[in-house]
Amino acid sequence: MDIMHITSPDDPHVEHFRAVRDRDALGTDGRPGLFVGESPLVIEAMFAAGTEVLSLLTAARNEQRAVDMVRAGLRPGMAEPMVVVAPDEVLDAIVGFNIHRGFLAVGRRPRMLTPAEIVAPAGTDSLLLCVEEVNNIDNIGQLFRNAAAFGCGGVLLSPGCHDPLYRKSVRVSCGCVLKVPSARSAAWADDLRALRDAGYAIVAATGRGSRPLADVACALGARVPGARRTAVLVGAEFAGLREATLALADHRARIPMAPGVDSLNVAVAAAVFLDRLR
């Protein structure tokens, strides 16, 4: 295995890891075609998803664990990544912050699917999560984790959603952004109409919903004959779903809440919807 021990933050072998936080900022990524995974759990998910891992950076105290992780994760035909080992102070100087989880890896970005590619074959059950204009990186990560937990066949992102392969989003998702198929829409309204044409019932999560979620779930569960195909539509916190988007929904559903509470975090609300509608 190619193991490189370095003592300077200026070493050329760590170029992709330098100033991670700044380079990960939306629109200023200095690693075109690549993304950064943080923590052993995420790096293991990268290998499991077949990601081409180019290099792994870790502290000297974690060298053996890094080697074991690579050996366990490599599959036939996968190139072996370089393992770069550095003292803690050098590691922090390279990255720009304290990596308390002790591991970073650079991988090649997978191809983003087209919206049509996450549509299940005709006649089969399917649950999709459709996300409109969510820019919070933690919420994006948690939405993908929810999608994996509740068996979604895919996540459809509107044009303005944050990058799911942003380092923190990948970490919050526990690597689920690499497990759940996802597609980014270029024509949001057209792609939602295409889902309806493919037999999906579009259920919009909105505090202004005309029916409680439980009623909508019962109505959809009673539909016969045919496959149960549902697309759950969620929007950004505070702004919610746009009126033009709500007009495309087959159902506008709300989660009944105690007096004085009008909404939930978008990821929490999505989890409730996905659980009831799967």
d(C-alpha 240, C-alpha 16), whole Å: 37
**Are 237 and 121 part of one and the same domain?**
yes
CATH assignment of the domain containing 73: 3.30.1330.30
> What's the mean pLDDT in 176-203?
97
pTM here is 0.92
For the cut 80, the answer to whether the pLDDT of residue 81 exceeds it is yes
Contact 128, 152 (CB under 8 A): yes
What is the pLDDT averaged over residues 111-139? 95
Angle between helices 213-221 and 266-277 (to 10 degrees): 30
Structure tokens at 67: 């080697």
Considering the domain architecture, whether residues 132 and 207 belong to the same structural domain is answered as yes
Asked whether residue 226 carries a pLDDT value surpassing 80, the answer given is no
Count Cβ neighbours within 10 Å for each residue of 197-211 and write b for 16 or more, e otherwise.
Answer: ebbbbbbbbbeebee
Among 120, 148, 113, CA closest to 231? 120
256/176 Cα distance (integer angstroms): 29
- pLDDT value at position 136? 93
* Cα 160 to Cα 234: distance, rounded to the nearest angstrom: 13
Q: Residue 13's Cα: distance from chain center in Å?
A: 28
Which of 85, 108, 131 terminates a domain? The answer is 108
Strand arrangement of the beta sheet that strand 211-212 belongs to: 182-184, 154-157, 126-132, 229-235, 201-205, 251-254, 211-212
3-state secondary structure of 198: coil
What is the predicted pLDDT for the residue at 239? Answer: 84
Query: How large is the average pLDDT for residues 63-74?
Result: 94
The dihedral over CA atoms of 243, 248, 251, 257, expressed in degrees to the nearest 10, equals -30
**Are residue 121 and residue 194 in the same domain, yes or no?**
yes
Asked if residue 135 and residue 31 are part of one domain, the reply reads no
pLDDT tier at 98 (50, 70, 90 boundaries)? confident
Whole-angstrom distance, CA of residue 207 vs CA of residue 248: 17
Residue with the bigger pLDDT between 226 and 213: it is 213
SS3 for 56? strand
Indicate if 239 and 213 belong to the same structural domain: yes
Looking at the predicted structure, is the pLDDT value of residue 159 above 80? Answer: yes
pLDDT band per the 50, 70, 90 thresholds, residue 118: very high
143, pLDDT greater than 60: yes
Listed residues 108, 140, 160: the one ending a domain: 108
Range of the domain at 58: 3-108
Q: Do 27 and 136 share a structural domain?
A: no
Q: What is the mean pLDDT of the segment spanning 69-86?
A: 94
Average the pLDDT over 153-173 and give the result. Answer: 95
Same-domain status, 220 and 172: yes
Whether the CB-CB separation of 182 and 163 falls below 8 Å is answered with no
Domain shared by 51 and 31, yes or no = yes
Residues 79 and 124 in one domain: no
Q: Are residues 149 and 271 in the same domain?
A: yes
Q: What is the CATH number of the domain that holds 203?
A: 3.40.1280.10
pLDDT value of residue 32: 80
| Average pLDDT in the chain | 91
Domain count across the chain: 2
pLDDT of 227: 81
> What pLDDT digit, counting tens, does each position of 250-271 carry?
999 999 999 998 889 999 999 9
Last residue of a domain, one of 66, 93, 108: 108
Are residues 143 and 69 part of one domain? no
Report how far residue 157's alpha carbon sits from residue 87's, in angstroms, rounded to the nearest whole number.
40
For residues 216 and 159, state if they share a domain.
Answer: yes
